[in-house]
Amino acid sequence: MKALSQRRRHPLAAIALLLMGLLVTGGIYAVASTANEAQAQTAVSASDVEEGEKLFVANCATCHGMGASGTEDGPSLVGVGAASVDFQVGTGRMPLQMQGPQAQVKPPQFTDEQTRQMAAYVASLGAGPAIPGEEVLDTTGEGVDPANGGELFRVNCAMCHNAAAAGGALTRGKFAPGLEGVSAKHTYEAMVTGPQNMPVFNDANITPEEKQDIIAFLEVIDEQGSPGGADLGALGPVSEGLFIWVAGLGVIIAFTVWLTSRSS
């Protein structure tokens, strides 16, 4: 609180206050609306949907079919919602570079504007999770509890994404990606939509406030780093074992050579 009062004359104070106000309104709204209801859409116009359809036909329809009804090569996108499009296209996973065990992250192929238009088009085909607004992604607000987020993360996420969120292997070439540097928006969208083999964690399972806690936890461990120095990728016994076998045994061998050598 002391740090807060010192910064009350900061030029960004007004913006922070505004954000806090938005958060409170957003929070009240979230409580008022039922858990499974799609969240408030970011404003889209008819022209966005039209532009999005053009982009979709040109770039996505080969696999997902005209009208996103699905083909043998790609699933139907009716009802997946704007959040799904924003996640898959915004992280560069879609359009798919090649067939494989799972879509991989690459530099996004579309601008934010184009992504928004495609999301608007897909959202217009059937109701689904919307792109989360700023108010649910802000983790600086009051009542956000990273410790609770940590507990939820360990119960729901850590078995695939690793307790330190470093990612891990799944079956047959699939994997859960590491979460360092993933934006709050994409983390939230992944939980809501369950991309690829990730299960869906809808708002009835993990409420928007709890999702906020999880995102806050991820930000905290990103900022604080490892409690014990170099974490060697936080991958556990494989990287740690390799290090100690190579470096530790190397040091022991060097000492043995020194112990038995004659002094000059």
Q: Is the Cβ of residue 140 or residue 197 nearer to other proteins in the bound state?
A: 197
Alpha-carbon distance of 36 to 201, in angstroms, equals 11
Q: 70: alpha, beta or left, given left = phi > 0 and alpha = psi -120 to 50? A: left
Nearest CA to 139 out of 240, 218, 47, 36 is that of: 218
Structure tokens at 139: 């983790």
156 touching other proteins, by CB under 8 A: yes
104 touching other proteins, by CB under 8 A: no
Nearest CA to 165 out of 120, 103, 96, 219 is that of: 219
Supply the minimum distance, in Å, between the C-beta of residue 238 and other proteins: 13
User: 226 with 234: CB under 8 angstroms?
Assistant: yes
User: 90 with 184: CB under 8 angstroms?
Assistant: no
Q: Is the Cβ of residue 11 or residue 229 nearer to other proteins in the bound state?
A: 229
Supply the minimum distance, in Å, between the C-beta of residue 183 and other proteins: 23
Q: Is the Cβ of residue 125 or residue 164 nearer to other proteins in the bound state?
A: 164
Quote the radius of gyration of the chain (alpha carbons, Å). Answer: 23
35 touching other proteins, by CB under 8 A: yes
Q: Is the Cβ of residue 49 or residue 192 nearer to other proteins in the bound state?
A: 192
Q: Is the Cβ of residue 131 or residue 176 nearer to other proteins in the bound state?
A: 176
Q: Is the Cβ of residue 117 or residue 139 nearer to other proteins in the bound state?
A: 139
Supply the minimum distance, in Å, between the C-beta of residue 214 and other proteins: 13
Residue type, 40: A
User: Among residue numbers 228 through 247, which ones bind other proteins (CB under 8 A)?
Assistant: 228-229
Q: Is the Cβ of residue 111 or residue 264 nearer to other proteins in the bound state?
A: 264
User: Among residue numbers 168 through 227, which ones bind other proteins (CB under 8 A)?
Assistant: 168, 170-171, 174, 176, 194, 196-202, 204-205, 224-227
SS3 141: coil
264 touching other proteins, by CB under 8 A: yes
SS3 176: strand
Alpha-carbon distance of 155 to 163, in angstroms, equals 10
- Between strands 168-169 and 175-176, the pairing is antiparallel
CA atoms within 13 A on the CB side of 12: 6
Residues that bind other proteins (rule: CB under 8 A) add up to a total of 34
Give the binding site for other proteins (CB under 8 A). 35-36, 151-152, 155-156, 159-160, 168, 170-171, 174, 176, 194, 196-202, 204-205, 224-229, 258-259, 262-264
